[in-house]
A and B are shown apart, each in its own frame.
Chain A
Amino acid sequence: MAQFTIKERQAGDVTILDLSGKITIGEGSVQLREAVRSQLDQGKKKLLLNLGDVSYVDSSGIGELVSSYTTTNNVGGHLKLLNLTKKIQDLLMITKLLTVFQTYDNEAEAVASFN
């Protein structure tokens, strides 16, 4: 079973969360929600979620990405996505969420886009 982990690092004032494993109803969703809320509580409002090592996402996981996005927006922050796998890109595309999220496949470009 793929364990879900989140590692946090800073690139200037942008917080990058490196997600790894599965984001599903039983595993990653709650951890992702808590991690995003924790960053916002600390006043870190420029969030970049690196999904490159995410092996599997279900509809709950997609829903959690949406919740994270709206929660961040609601406090005046910005949440963007980095390194979408083909599967995640497909899931976002067919539910028209690629029109909602700003997505990047280059970390430096993604970080620069916040400023």
Chain B
Amino acid sequence: MTETVELSIDSKLEFVDLVASVTKSVTTKMGFSEDDASWIELAVHEAVINAITHGNKSADDKQVDVRFVAERDGLTIYVRDYGAGFDPSTLPDPTDEANLLNPSGRGIFYMRTFMDEVEHSIHPEGGSLVRLKKQK
């Protein structure tokens, strides 16, 4: 059985907590452990922050779409922005000695660490799409 929850927010940081609340509700309902639930929440938070700030460049007229798809084997979250898209393979490794003191560049690393699958793609109708999956 598949259940889907979708929400769209304006590109404002004040709405990120709303996404966190929905994430918490979904993971609780699905029975994830407290630890897994909090790391999923962080991964979704990082994806939404990236969509707002890097994807949409915080533009008032651009939204971030978040879709949660709950299935028996796990939870998949899609985060879409309406920006120009980017290539995550060009990101420097934040754990490299030379990058340890960089103030930024850890968000995608945390997503990849805490989720089982993370995939970045260009949405066919424009913008970036991030797919995050956590197995149950």
Contacts and interface: CB of A to CB of B under 8 A. Distances in A.
A11 interface: no
B103 A97 contact: no
Contacts of B46: 58-59
Interface residues on B, range: 20 to 34
A66 interface: yes
Given A59-B106, A70-B101, A87-B38, A94 B113 contact: yes
Contacts of A67: 103
A99 B97 CA distance: 10
A47 interface: no
Chain A CB within 10 A, most for which of B42, B46, B106 = B106
Nearest to B41: A56
Given A25-B49, A97-B100, A62 B106 contact: yes
Interface string B1-21: 000000000000110110000
Contacts of B17: 1
Interface in A53-103: 58-60, 62-64, 66-67, 69-70, 87, 91, 94-97, 99-100
Nearest to A65: B103
Contacts of B42: 58
A12 interface: no
Count class of interface residues, chain A: 20 to 34
B120 to A, nearest CB: 16
Contacts of A25: 13, 49, 53
Q: Interface majority SS on B: helix, strand, loop or mixed?
A: helix
A1 B103 CA distance: 25
B45 interface: yes
A43 interface: no
Contact of B13 (A26, A87, A94, A96): A26
A60 B106 CA distance: 8
B85 interface: no
Given A58-B49, A59-B110, A95 B104 contact: no
19 contacts: A1-B17, A58-B45, A58-B107, A59-B106, A63-B106, A66-B100, A66-B101, A66-B103, A67-B103, A87-B38, A91-B110, A94-B95, A94-B109, A94-B110, A95-B94, A95-B106, A95-B109, A96-B95, A100-B100
